[in-house]
């Protein structure tokens, strides 16, 4: 276990596990550090990454860009939240996959 904690994952950058060349991922995330984290995770996939910092911006990008293949949607965003943005996006493109992701949980979702 100790070796795993100190493993340098940067050394294994030559092996590509996923090649998503030609795919576009929209990250709907209002915090810079969370967006950069997700972008870093996806950096070796060759996918084009778009960023929407609000629910409204995500809706607008879906209207403007028919090439979006999947959305990583933050739930807790100012203005239009991720739930409402997903409903609006599915009224534009019903088949577009939206994966909910968030760094926050509601009090009633915390289990001790």
Tokens of 24: 């576009």
Mean pLDDT of the chain: 86
Q: Is 107 helix (H, G, I), strand (E, B) or coil?
A: helix
Name the percent of the chain lying above pLDDT 90.
71
pTM, 2 dp: 0.79
- Give the helix ranges, DSSP H, for the chain: 2-5, 32-41, 55-64, 82-92
**Higher per-residue pLDDT: 32 or 104:** 32
pLDDT score at 102: 82
Which residue matches tokens 């949607």? Answer: 73
pLDDT score at 3: 45
First-to-last C-alpha distance (Å) of the chain = 26
pLDDT score at 48: 97
Domains of the chain with CATH codes: 29-104 (3.40.50.2300)
């Amino acid at each position: 276990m100790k070796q795993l904690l100190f493993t340098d994952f940067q050394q294994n950058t030559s092996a590509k596990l996923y090649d998503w060349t030609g795919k576009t991922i929209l990250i709907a995330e209002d915090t810079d550090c969370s967006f950069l984290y997700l972008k870093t995770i996806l950096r070796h996939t060759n996918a084009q990454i778009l960023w929407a910092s609000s629910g409204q911006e995500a809706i607008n990008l879906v209207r403007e860009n028919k090439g979006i293949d999947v959305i990583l949607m933050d739930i807790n965003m100012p203005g239009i939240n991720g739930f409402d943005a997903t409903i609006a996006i599915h009224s534009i493109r019903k088949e577009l996959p939206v994966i909910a992701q968030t760094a926050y949980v509601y009090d009633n979702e915390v289990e001790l």
